[in-house]
Amino acid sequence: MVPVFAVTGGRTRSAGLDLPVESMVSATDRWAGDLQKEYRVIMDLAARPVALVEVGAELSIPVGVARVLVSDLAEAGYLVVHAPPPSTADGSPTPEILHRLLEGLRAR
């Protein structure tokens, strides 16, 4: 693999989308065979919805770098970003998020 700083051009922040770390991404049906290896790995991961932090963990790169790579793919139309619902004014999770969390815990 090419060093990630070479793939990002040394960027540590996305030029476009500012993605929260809890964002989920999924691949579109756009052909990605002409992309660099790191981008193709992300596309393979995103065949099912995957969290941005999982992308970083899978590639063994910092989340900030994963954010740049995912943002590049999203801006080019390769990924769809599913941002989390907004928090309340005081920054706490919305009742909807808490309800979904409770449902997830009960399902385990």
Separation CA 51–CA 22 (nearest Å): 6
Q: How many Å apart are CA 20 and CA 23, to the nearest integer? A: 5
pLDDT tens per residue across span 45-56: 999 999 888 898
The tens digit of pLDDT for each residue in 37-88 reads 889 999 999 999 998 888 988 988 888 888 889 998 999 999 999 877 666 7
SS3 81: strand
Q: 18 vs 33, 95, 106, 107, CA distance in Å? A: 26, 24, 32, 32
* Distances, alpha carbon 20 to alpha carbons 53, 54, 73, in Å: 10, 13, 15
